[in-house]
Structure 1
Amino acid sequence: MSGVATFEGQPDRYRGVVVDVLKETVLQTTHDFEELLRASLDKWSADGVRGVWFRVDIGHSEFVPILVKHQFVYHHARREFVMLVRWLPREESDQIPPYAHTMIGVGGMVISEADDQVLVVREKYYTQPHWKLPGGFVEPGEDLAAAAVREVLEETGVRAEFDSLLAFRHVHGAAHGCSDLYFICLMRPVSRDISMCTRELAACRWMPIAEYASHADVHALNKHFITKYLEFREHRAAMRLEPMHIPGFGRVQNVFSLTVGGGGT
């Protein structure tokens, strides 16, 4: 293969190669793509490369049919790019992991202890009217606590602080066929004035906890969560957040652990 131009790519720790079309200086014109691909596949196979990943930005989407022609398949996509992949070894089963298959959501249980009220919202678009906790999806790279603070503020205008993790729900077959994790975050209000997001919500109010626990328009799951809050409060128990620096890991790990007898909401 000496003297034959190939894609540069970046090796990964699994003896794979990741090619980002935008970073390939060897690619001068779109007409070069298939020729470079053929030569690269020959070289990668000879070198024992296992998985080949191609990140194709939306501005070069004309490369996708060529990759598919050469046995690449879709792995995942974002608004700005699509990632295709091909497993090369014929003697090994495909070891490429699936794309992330679980969505993460948060609900903010904002409790005003002074008058025993909880902040609740009613969605603007629904199949059945109900009172629920403000919340939404966690953004990429966002911590659970930060997501809860942001969602409560965006939906209700109420500023709140994260206290602890109360519970979470796990379900399969949610949106887009993904699994879904929904974390209930116990929070303390810093402000009480409501400035509701009318784009998403039809109503927002502070509701007495006793009323919420028995309201006909509160789903059984949310009644379960408020019951668990009352139990936790009685026993002064909470799932506290402790950011941990693990030597050799390189990233902060947010650990939630059950504590009893501590302070908080």
Structure 2
Amino acid sequence: MDTSFTFKGVKDRFSGLTVSSKDEYIDSKDFGSILEASINQWQKDGIRALWFKVDIQHTDWVPVLAKHGFVFHHTQPDFVTMVRWLAINEPNNLPGYAHNMVGVGAFVVNSNDELLVVRERFHTKPHWKLPGGYVNQGEDLRSAAVREVKEETGIDTEFVSMVSFRHVHRANFNCSDIYFIVHLHPSSQSITMCKKELAACEWMKLEEYITHPHVHEVNRYFAKCFLEGRRKGVKIDAVDMYTPSFNRNQTIYSVKFNEENVKGEKSSVNDKYVNSDPKL
């Protein structure tokens, strides 16, 4: 074995280095000695942090990395990432993995002022709630709300505005949980309920929902926020924006006022970037 061989890895702007087993896999019998040689060289080169992305097919690396001071940082179905802080004269300032989960609740109101409500099959006690669920990785909040409504109730919808959101700690997997309430307009009315997830689904008058004994107080509050915003002509709108500094599309949510309610006010948004990307 050539003891001068070291892993290459990919350096980041924080003077950290990431090695992927998919790109640089070697057999575990040689892994320990080459890892030691690599660490010695990286310390001389001023590398501050080491990240090893270990594919599920190469888990024989895991115990070796653990013996050399690496700890688990995060996992996905097909890989685990282990990390070691290498800089001895600096405090470890590596960020933890994502600690928030993001969900959406769809506030779907039809022309009769009826709200689309569901009752889940599995619960601690029965209650009427909003259709919704967790946002998939890489999925927009608006798209997630539309998708969840379609999957659970068969209703087609389109985005109108954001209503509200809540933030709670110690939720699933001990993560914090951010739950966005998204106002959608239905383009169909006939319900096709997903029987795998739901026990019931119906259109319910908004006034009834706010006072219904089987509605949680937080959902009542969301309904009141919706009615107040509608009465005052205020909503949280969404704008798709391409920003050259980040070289990517972003969705910006901001408060908008009905022009009939706010006379003489003009938007201060610099519109030169809004929808400037032909892909939008």
Output the TM-score relative to the length of structure 2.
Answer: 0.90
State the partner residue of 2:14: 14
Give the C-alpha shift of residue 28 in structure 1.
4.0
Q: 2:114 aligned to 114, 117, 129, which one?
A: 117
Aligned partners of 1:193, 1:218: CA distance in 2, in Å? 23
Aligned partners of 2:237, 2:31: CA distance in 1, in Å? 53
Is 1:105 aligned to residue 131 of structure 2? no
State the partner residue of 2:31: 33
State the partner residue of 1:189: 186
After superposing on structure 2, the runs of 4+ consecutive aligned residues of structure 1 that deviate more than 3 Å are: none
Aligned partners of 1:3, 1:55: CA distance in 2, in Å? 23
Aligned partners of 1:251, 1:172: CA distance in 2, in Å? 30
Give the C-alpha shift of residue 3 in structure 1.
7.1
Aligned partners of 2:34, 2:199: CA distance in 1, in Å? 56
User: How many pairs are equivalent?
Assistant: 259
Given the superposition, is the C-alpha separation of residues 138 and 200 from structure 1 closer, same or farther in structure 2, using an over 3 Å criterion?
same
Aligned partners of 2:152, 2:30: CA distance in 1, in Å? 50
Residues 143-202 of structure 1: per-residue CA shift (max 9 Å, x gap): 100110111111111111011000000111111111110000000001111111111111
Asked if structure 2 preserves the Cα contact closer than 8 Å seen for 1:121 and 1:205, the reply is yes
Give the C-alpha shift of residue 91 in structure 1.
1.2
Aligned partners of 1:258, 1:233: CA distance in 2, in Å? 13
State the partner residue of 1:48: 46
Residues 129-156 of structure 1: per-residue CA shift (max 9 Å, x gap): 1000000001111110011011111111
State the partner residue of 1:226: 223
State the partner residue of 2:278: none
Q: Residue 222 of structure 2: SS of its match in structure 1? A: helix
Output aligned runs, 1:205-216, within 5 Å. Answer: 205-216=202-213
Residues 26-64 of structure 1: per-residue CA shift (max 9 Å, x gap): x44332211211111111111000010000111111111
- Counterpart residue identity of residue 63, structure 1: W
Aligned partners of 1:182, 1:95: CA distance in 2, in Å? 29
Aligned partners of 2:95, 2:259: CA distance in 1, in Å? 41
Aligned partners of 2:26, 2:70: CA distance in 1, in Å? 22
Given the superposition, is the C-alpha separation of residues 158 and 262 from structure 1 closer, same or farther in structure 2, using an over 3 Å criterion?
farther
**What is the aligned-residue RMSD (CA, Å)?**
1.4
Aligned partners of 2:26, 2:119: CA distance in 1, in Å? 55
Output the TM-score relative to the length of structure 1.
Answer: 0.95
Q: Residue 44 of structure 1: SS of its match in structure 2? A: helix
Give the C-alpha shift of residue 250 in structure 1.
1.1
Q: Residue 124 of structure 2: SS of its match in structure 1? A: coil
- Counterpart residue identity of residue 213, structure 1: I
Q: Name stretches of at least 5 consecutive residues in structure 2 with no aligned partner.
A: 261-280
Asked if structure 1 preserves the Cα contact closer than 8 Å seen for 2:243 and 2:249, the reply is yes
Asked if structure 1 preserves the Cα contact closer than 8 Å seen for 2:117 and 2:128, the reply is yes
Aligned partners of 2:33, 2:192: CA distance in 1, in Å? 59
Asked if structure 2 preserves the Cα contact closer than 8 Å seen for 1:237 and 1:262, the reply is no
Asked if structure 1 preserves the Cα contact closer than 8 Å seen for 2:118 and 2:130, the reply is yes
Q: Residue 132 of structure 1: SS of its match in structure 2? A: coil
Aligned partners of 1:164, 1:13: CA distance in 2, in Å? 38
Is 1:148 aligned to residue 145 of structure 2? yes
State the partner residue of 2:237: 240
Give the C-alpha shift of residue 245 in structure 1.
2.0
State the partner residue of 2:265: none
Q: Name stretches of at least 5 consecutive residues in structure 1 with no aligned partner.
A: none
Output aligned runs, 1:131-170, within 5 Å. Answer: 131-170=128-167
